[in-house]
Structure 1
Amino acid sequence: MDALKSLSRLSVRQLAQQALNFCLIVSSALMIWKGLSVVTNSESPIVVVLSESMEPAFARGDLLFLTLPSTPVTIGDICVFKIQDKPIPIVHRVLEIHAAQNGSQYMLTKGDNNPTNDRALYNPGQMWIRQEDVVGKVQGFLPHVGMVTILLNDHPQLKVVLLGVLALFVLFSREE
């Protein structure tokens, strides 16, 4: 109740300032993301491991940092790739590479913790991952930092609560 009283005491100018502060925070986060995308040359410079398929190299919830270098992918590289018409990218190791005469690469991948290669995960009739499907190569990771993302995806109501708390925090914080 005290929060509503303090909110009603704010002038229109103060409310507008708080709303602008909130927009500044959101736009700053988006600019940082886009800046990382430009620097790393990857549409998704940071991803979270969602399964145990790459254990012991990466565990569920690890935060991976990606780049898309101009050099070709090599056998043993851990890559993140997207399969056409599937929304979630996959993090697996390159097992085989075939180079076409035009210079493009075709890769076969496998999760370190999986018994077989990834052909069962590819689209029907697809035997290889194309170079264009690679989102990035793993350059580093932070263990278990991505568990927050997994929790927010598993429990969507937590997203609403978190955004509400952040919005209230911005609204009620006063700059002296």
Structure 2
Amino acid sequence: MEIISELGRMNKRQLLLQGLNLGMIITSALMIWKSMILGTGSESPVVVVLSGSMEPGFYRGDILFLYQPKRPVQTGDIIVFNTDGREIPIVHRIIKVHQRAHNSSSLDILTKGDNNWGDDRSLYPKGQLWLNPGHIMGVVVGYLPHIGRVTIIMNDYPMFKYALIAILGVFVLTSKE
């Protein structure tokens, strides 16, 4: 109730300024994100590792930076891909690239997690044995270890996410200039 009384004491100009500040923060974040998309050529230039399938190279919570290279992908590249019917992209290594004889521009790609026993064919849609370049969101070019753990905590514990949003909202509304 203290927050509501604090809002009641603020004049309309202060409330408008707080709203504009919040709008500028959101707009700046969106502009940075769109600039990263343009600069990297990747639809998602930053992703968080959500599983342990790439250990010991990448651990849960590592943030990966992606780039869409001009060259074709190669065996050994670590890629982030998404297939039809999957909501969450997968980070795995390319273990085989096959160029079709009848179509020199078409590539078949097979992936595997470094910490997995077998290839990823069981993760592909039923009847699909290979990925194609259209499935690839980007090639990993760098990472920050463990920074993305907050994302994992928010996914695993939704109440934490709502509490964090509420705390940030209170902070923005009650901060004074």
Q: TM-score normalised to the size of structure 1?
A: 0.95
Deviation at 1:102, TM superposition (A): 3.9
Deviation at 1:24, TM superposition (A): 1.4
Instruction: Specify the alignment match of 2:173 in structure 1.
Output: 171
Q: After TM superposition, list the pairs within 5 Å mapping 1:100-111 onto structure 2.
A: 100=100, 101-111=103-113
Structure 2 unmatched runs, 5+: none
Instruction: Specify the alignment match of 1:29 in structure 2.
Output: 29
Instruction: Specify the alignment match of 1:151 in structure 2.
Output: 153
Structure 1: which amino acid aligns with 2:167? Answer: V
Structure 2: which amino acid aligns with 1:56? Answer: P
Superposed structure 1 runs of 4+ greater than 4 Å apart: none
Deviation at 1:2, TM superposition (A): 4.5
Deviation at 1:36, TM superposition (A): 0.6
Kept in 2, the 8 Å contact 1:36–1:45? The answer is: yes
Instruction: Specify the alignment match of 1:127 in structure 2.
Output: 129
> Which SS does the other structure have where 2:168 is aligned?
helix
Structure 1: which amino acid aligns with 2:23? Answer: C
Deviation at 1:21, TM superposition (A): 1.0
Structure 1 unmatched runs, 5+: none
Listed one character per residue, the Cα deviations across residues 120-164 of structure 1 (whole Å, up to 9, x for unaligned) are 111111010110000000000011111100001111122221111
CA distance in 1, matches of 2:164, 2:52: 27
Listed one character per residue, the Cα deviations across residues 66-105 of structure 1 (whole Å, up to 9, x for unaligned) are 0011111010000000011110100000000011324121
Q: Percent identity?
A: 51
| Farther-moved stretch of structure 1 (26-35 vs 76-85) | 26-35
Q: How many residues align?
A: 175
Kept in 2, the 8 Å contact 1:110–1:118? The answer is: yes
Instruction: Specify the alignment match of 2:77 in structure 1.
Output: 77
